[in-house]
Amino acid sequence: MPFAPLLLAVLGEIAAVAPFRNMLTPGGQRMSVAMTNCGAVGWVTDRKGYRYERLDPETGRPWPPLPDGLIELAQRAAVEAGFPAFRPDVCLINRYEPGARMSLHQDRDERDLSAPIVSVSLGLGATFLFGGLKRSDRPYRLPLSHGDVLVWGGEKRLAYHGVAPVADGCHESVGRMRINLTLRHAL
Ligand code: MD6
Ligand code: FE
């Protein structure tokens, strides 16, 4: 995985400015996944709902900038998948410790749903749950491992999806966690 060491270094710099935190869902549940962002805006959730914010609510400061290398990586993947016009402006970063999970959801807080999302997985493997357009559609289980890049768009853009609880383990370069980066065009 040639780009992993650079990505991990960049993630350390981002987390030093905008630390990982376990946000509250609108229903008041603390998420098991810790999150941060970089880019012009960042995705947040609290009792007021899900949305993108220009300032990090934890620090009151802008999110760190989206590194050019991440933009290039995401654009290269999007071109290969048939989305040559993709221009990411935000990256949501998810950190899963063993046992953390993401329940089925749709990603619909971005303004232009014709833009895809590029998702990069690092560290421990996980089972991605890839459902349909109704929450009740039975999800297909897709194993994701270190270095996998998924491009999510087109008619599946609003499909329900989630991540099964991450099994315990230790990845040789990332440690006892899974990191997922999703690059999006949010504005
Ligand atoms: C994760 N990913 O893999 C969670 N959403 O940790 C997502 O929720 C996701 O991977 C939209 C598009 C791609 C994704
Ligand atoms: Fe999602």
Domains and CATH numbers, the chain: 4-184 (2.60.120.590)
- CA pair distance 52, 182, nearest whole angstrom: 14
Least distant ligand from the CA of 157: 1
Q: What pLDDT does 165 receive?
A: 98
Determine the atom of ligand 1 nearest the C-alpha atom of 128. Answer: 3
Amino acid type, 144: L
pLDDT digits (tens, 9 = 90+) for 159-178: 999 999 999 999 999 999 99
Query: Inter-axis angle of helices 68-80 and 4-17, to 10 degrees?
Result: 130
Ligand 1 pocket, residue 77 CB under 6 Å: no
Helices (H), the chain: 4-17, 68-80
pLDDT digit string (tens) for the chain, length 187 residues: 788 888 999 999 999 999 999 999 999 999 999 999 999 999 999 999 999 999 999 999 999 999 999 999 999 999 999 999 999 999 999 999 999 999 999 999 999 999 999 999 999 999 999 999 999 999 999 999 999 999 999 999 999 999 999 999 999 999 999 999 999 999 9
Ligand 1 pocket, residue 163 CB under 6 Å: yes
- CA pair distance 74, 45, nearest whole angstrom: 24
- Going by C-alpha positions, the residue among 39, 2, 35, 5 that lies closest to residue 20 is 35
Amino acid type, 134: K
Distance from CA of residue 51 to its chain's centroid?
14
- CA pair distance 119, 89, nearest whole angstrom: 14
Ligand 1 pocket, residue 117 CB under 6 Å: yes
Ligand 1 pocket, residue 75 CB under 6 Å: no
How far does the centroid of ligand 1 lie from the alpha carbon of residue 148, in Å? 12
CA torsion through residues 47, 50, 51, 54, sign:
positive
Two structure tokens written together for 24: 């509250």
Q: Which helix (H) or strand (E) holds 35?
A: strand 34-39
Q: What pLDDT does 1 receive?
A: 72
Two structure tokens written together for 37: 């962002």
Q: What pLDDT does 3 receive?
A: 83
Mean pLDDT of the chain: 97
Amino acid type, 91: C
